[in-house]
Amino acid sequence: MTVSPSSTTGSTTVLLRNGVVHTHSPLAGTAIAIRDGLVVFVGDEDQAEAYAQAEEVVDLRGALVAPAFVDAHVHTVQSGFQLTQLDLRGTRSLAEALDAVASYAVANGPDTVLIGAGWDESTWPEGRPPTADELERAAPGRRISLDRRDGHSSVISSDLAAAVPGLLSMDGYSASGRIERDARHAVSNALASLVGPDQRLEAARRAVAEMATNGVAAFHENAAPHIGPEYEVDLVRQAAAETGLLATLYWGELGAIDKVAALGVQGLAGDLNADGAIGSRTAALRTAYDDMAGHCGHAYLEADQIAEHVILCTEAGLQAGFHCIGDAAIDAITEGFRTAEKRLGAPAIRQGRHRLEHVEMPSPDAVAMMADLDVTASMQPLFDHLWGGPDRMYAERLGGRWRGMNPVAGMGHAGVRIAFGSDAPVTDVRPWEAVRAAVHHRDPEQRIGAALAFDHHTSGGWRAARNDVAGTLTPGAPAHLAVWDCPGGLEGREGRKGPSGMILPILDPAVPLPQIHRLVVAGRTVADHTIDGEGP
């Protein structure tokens, strides 16, 4: 895969023909033409002859052309760190993870801060995270930070702890080396100077390139003070511009109106945390975790704080938003939005097009509030795929409460706007896998059709960013599209095979997922791949 901005600009016309075009029309489409960043034609081969003299004509050889994906929740630099530094997602045991730390320390100079992520003790036979003492034995004298896969707790070495003033007395610090809440935020602040902008820009570039190779034309950066320094926002913007992807930037800080213009962000949304995560047992629950008696997680915001933030953003014309996973946290969100509604009126709140991230355990009242006030649910289908079901982490933490979590079908039926994303690095940027996960939700009552799931990961992402124009391949729409080889076959409207309108790949788990040939963003080819000289 080659990823680089194309020189295809200006009034150049590009014709893609002899393929299958995904449209929202029952009419067949085999060809599409692009000019000045817009789709100017979709039709059949006979109609395509009017554009046969285009400056670039591409024979699709039967490939699928579809709207490009939008990833509605990404942490770009942190995703890049996982790709460029120590990735612990594949480790099968605590011992294997510690061996990986030791090898990584040998491969990097003694002054390098060792950054790793992706460990998940729920999949290890030891059933627990590493300790600071074990990190010291694996890599003596090194500054080490290893994030849990959900990003809401970490394990750090004693040498890194010593570099953070006052850490040992902060909430969320454990002598074992495990950190969460205030302690984790303090370590993140310290890493802002220990891991500098050059390294973070390299990570952002790698993450954006990874998105492009997976058919993502646009993404929503969910930055926040507890995730990375403010200067990361500009690095993400730079990496996106260099590659040709479109970035919508959010900053998750309560009431920080003064930072909106300085950072150039669209809203104070994203990972403004109302609670934590289920894997780290920091999501705020009404009743205790099944595997930790008496512990209900942690609520970081109260309903009145949520209301004031929504009011402030609404009056400023900005999107407000919150990270919320547990049912208690979502209850506080619901109360806060209803209070804001009483103050400003429902029309004003609706106009704000606010958003909530994750929304894994919403009550019927929460779902009704979101539908009433046009609040988007930014959700991650791969959460359910990885941790849902009766024998996985959610059931271990929550027992039977895993059923009904991540309710994409229930929320959609209630009229809630939905956008899909990865929460990378928590899950990989694999949008077709996410669409398939929604179609095959582990709770059968929450399964949705492929066309709807695809819409959530394309048009839904644009709508979540208050853009109601992009996301379809119709004349006059922005030309954000991807070309896919679909070795598992295609199916069309009402299950018919062949070029019959809303064509999508077959998403049965037993068949291969599509492979990308080309990504076009605003009419520019930003990624292309020819397989053995036979691709488009």
Residue 62 belongs to a domain with what CATH number? Answer: 2.30.40.10
Residue 472 three-state SS: coil
The span from the CA of 89 to the CA of 82, in Å, is: 9
User: Which position has the token pair 């969910």?
Assistant: 222
Q: Each residue of 476-509: b (16+ CB within 10 Å) or e?
A: ebbbbbbbbbbeeebbbeeeeeebbbbbbbbbee
Task: For residues 514-533, give the mean pLDDT.
Answer: 85
Q: With bands split at pLDDT 50, 70 and 90, how would you rate the model's confidence at 349?
A: very high
CATH number of the domain bearing residue 81: 3.10.310.70
**Residues 395 and 182: beta-carbon distance below 8 Å:** no
Do 184 and 138 belong to one domain? yes
How far are the Cα atoms of 79, 149, 154, 225, 479 from residue 253, in angstroms, in the given order?
A: 21, 23, 21, 7, 33
Q: Is the pLDDT of residue 189 over 90?
A: no
Which region among 166-170, 239-243, 265-269, 389-393 has the lowest average model confidence (pLDDT)? Answer: 166-170
Q: In angstroms, what CA-CA distances link 102 with 86, 116, 130, 137, 156?
A: 11, 12, 13, 9, 14
Q: How far apart are CA 96 and CA 280, in angstroms?
A: 21
Confidence grade of residue 223 (pLDDT, cut at 50, 70, 90): very high
Question: What single letter denotes the amino acid at residue 452?
Answer: L
pLDDT value of residue 236: 98
Cα-flanking dihedrals φ and ψ of residue 334, to 5°? -60, -45
Q: Is residue 321 part of a domain?
A: yes
Q: Is residue 103 part of a domain?
A: yes
Residues with Cβ within 8 Å of 432's Cβ and at least 6 positions away in sequence, in order, are 215, 505, 507, 513, 514
In a domain, 536, yes or no: no
Whether residue 136 is found in the same domain as residue 81: yes
In terms of residue numbers, what domain contains 22?
2-67+472-528
Last residue of a domain, one of 416, 448, 464: 464
pLDDT band at 150 (very low <50, low <70, confident <90, very high): confident
Stretch 430-453: mean pLDDT: 97
- Judge if 350 and 444 occupy the same domain: yes
User: To 5 degrees, how large is the angle CA 170–CA 171–CA 173?
Assistant: 75
SS3 435: helix
Inside any domain, residue 309: yes
Q: How many CB atoms lie within 10 A of CB 297?
A: 25
Give the pLDDT band (50/70/90) at residue 406: very high
Q: Are 65 and 504 in contact (CB under 8 A)?
A: no
Q: Distance between CA 236 and CA 29 in Å, rounded?
A: 36
Report if residue 234 sits inside a domain.
Answer: no
Same domain, 298 and 428: yes
Residue 87 DSSP SS3: strand
Q: How many domains does the chain have?
A: 3
- Tell me whether residue 250 is in a domain: no
Q: Is residue 407 part of a domain?
A: yes
One domain for residues 274 and 380: yes
Handedness of CA 259, 263, 266, 271 (dihedral sign): negative
User: Would you call 404 exposed, middle or buried from its count of C-beta atoms within 10 A (0-12, 13-18, 19+)?
Assistant: middle
User: If 0-12 CB within 10 Å is exposed, 13-18 middle and 19+ buried, where does residue 458 land?
Assistant: buried
Beta strands in 277-354, from DSSP E residues, in sequence order? 319-324
> 109 - beta bridge partners?
none
Percent share of the chain, pLDDT over 70:
94
Q: Please give the pLDDT value at position 492.
A: 73
- Neighbouring residues of 46: CB distance < 8 A, sequence distance ≥ 6: none
Residues 357 and 490 in one domain: no
State which H helix or E strand residue 186 sits in: helix 181-194
What mean pLDDT is reported for the chain? 92
- Whichever domain contains 395, its CATH number is 3.20.20.140
Q: Scan for tokens 């200067």, then name that residue.
A: 231
Are residues 103 and 44 located together in one domain of the fold? no
Distances (CA, A) of 418 to 189, 237, 267, 378, 407: 32, 25, 18, 6, 11
pLDDT at 536 over 50: no
pLDDT score of 28 more than 90 = no
Which run of H or of E encompasses 249?
A: strand 246-251
* Crossing angle for the helix pair 327-344 and 364-373, to the nearest 10 degrees: 40
The radius of gyration computed from the CA coordinates of the chain, to the nearest angstrom, equals 23
Average of pLDDT values for 341-357?
98
Asked if the model's pLDDT at residue 8 lies above 50, the reply is: no
Please check whether residue 515 is in contact with residue 530, taking contact to mean a CB–CB distance below 8 angstroms.
no
Mean pLDDT of 268-283: 95
Same domain, 424 and 324: yes
Pairing of strands 154-156, 178-179: antiparallel
The number of beta carbons lying within 10 Å of the beta carbon of residue 362 is 29
For residue 254, what pLDDT is reported? 97
Domain boundary among 434, 464, 494: 464
d(CA 421, CA 415): 19
> How many Cα atoms within 13 Å fall on the side-chain side of residue 491?
11
Q: 42: helix, coil or strand?
A: strand
pLDDT at 530: 64
Answer yes or no: do 446 and 488 share one domain: no
Residue 156: its pLDDT value, please?
92
| Residue 519, φ and ψ in degrees, nearest 5 | -120, 130
Task: Tell me: do 185 and 61 sit in the same domain.
Answer: no
Above 70 in pLDDT, residue 27?
no
Q: Kindly report, residue by residue over 308-336, the tens digit of the pLDDT.
A: 999 999 999 999 999 999 999 999 999 99
Q: Are residues 440 and 375 in the same domain?
A: yes
The DSSP secondary structure of 338-394, one letter per residue, reads HHHHHHH-HHHHHHHT-EEEE--S--HHHHHHHHHHT-EEEE-HHHHHHH-STTSHH
Residues 407 and 286 in one domain: yes
* CA atoms of 301 and 368, how far apart (whole Å): 21
pLDDT at 250 over 90: yes
Using the predicted structure, report yes or no on whether residue 412 has a pLDDT greater than 90: yes
| SS3 at position 509 | coil
Residue 501 has pLDDT above 70, yes or no: no
Q: What is the pLDDT of residue 506?
A: 95
Average the pLDDT over 228-236 and give the result. 96
Q: Which domain-ending residue is among 143, 177, 194?
A: 194
The answer to whether residue 168 sits within a structural domain is yes
